[in-house]
Structure 1
Amino acid sequence: MLPQPIRSSAKALPQALVLIVEDEHEIATILEAYLTRSGLRTAHAPDGLRALALHQSLKPDLVLLDIQLPELDGWQVLNEIRHKSHTPTIMLTALDQDVDKLMGLRLGADDYIVKPFNPAEVVARVQAVLRRTRTQASDTRQIFRVGDFQLDIESHEACVFIANQPTTLDLTLTEFKLLECLMRTPNRAFSRVELLEACLPEGDSLERTVDSHISKLRKKIEQLGIVGVPASVRGIGYRFGNRS
Structure 2
Amino acid sequence: MRVLLVEDDDGVASALAELLTQHGASVVLTTRGTDALHRMKGCDLVLLDLGLPDMDGLDVLRTLRRASAVPVIIMTARDSDGSVVLGLRAGADDYLVKPVRKAVLLARIDAVMRRLRRSAGEVGATTATTGPVTAGPVTVERERREVLLDGTPQPLTRTEFQILSTLAGRQGEAVSREELMLQVWGTAVVGRSRSLDFFIGQLRAKLVGLPLHTVRGFGFRLDS
TM-score range, shorter chain: 0.5 to 0.7
Larger radius of gyration: 1
Q: Does 2:85 align with 1:79?
A: no
Q: Does 1:99 align with 2:82?
A: yes
C-alpha distance in 1, partners of 2:58/2:18? 26
Q: Which ranges of 4 or more aligned residues in structure 1 deviate by more than 4 Å? A: none
Structure 1 contact 141–153 (Cα < 8 Å) conserved: no
Q: C-alpha distance in 1, partners of 2:14/2:129?
A: 39
Q: What's the TM-score once normalised by structure 2's chain length?
A: 0.56
Q: Distance in 2 between matches of 1:93 and 1:106?
A: 16
Partner of residue 28, structure 1? 13
Match for 1:43 among 28, 34, 43?
28
Deviation at 1:67, TM superposition (A): 0.6
| Structure-2 change in CA distance of 1:173 and 1:138 (3 Å) | farther
Partner of 1:124: 107
Give the aligned length. 138
Equivalent position SS for 1:72? coil
- The structure-2 alpha-carbon separation of the partners of 1:102 and 1:25, relative to structure 1 and needing over 3 Å to count, comes to same
Instruction: Sort the Cα spacing of 1:143 and 1:172 in 2 relative to 1 into closer, same or farther, 3 A.
Output: farther
Identity of aligned residues (%): 39
- Distance in 2 (CA, whole Å) between partners of 1:73 and 1:89 is 15
Instruction: Give the C-alpha shift of residue 173 in structure 1.
Output: 7.2
> 1:35-80 CA deviation, whole Å, 9 max, x = no partner?
111111111111111111111xx32111000010011111010000
Q: Give runs of aligned pairs for residues 137-176 of structure 1, distance below 5 A.
A: 137-142=120-125, 153=129, 171=144
Q: Could you tell me which runs of 5 or more consecutive residues in structure 2 were left unpaired when the two chains were aligned.
A: 132-141, 148-224
Q: In 2, Cα distance between the equivalents of 1:129 and 1:66?
A: 17
Asked whether the 8 Å contact 1:91–1:104 carries over to 2, the reply is yes
Moved more, 115-124 or 46-55: 115-124
Aligned pair 1:54/2:39, yes or no? yes
Q: Which amino acid aligns with 2:68?
A: S
Moved more, 63-72 or 33-42: 33-42
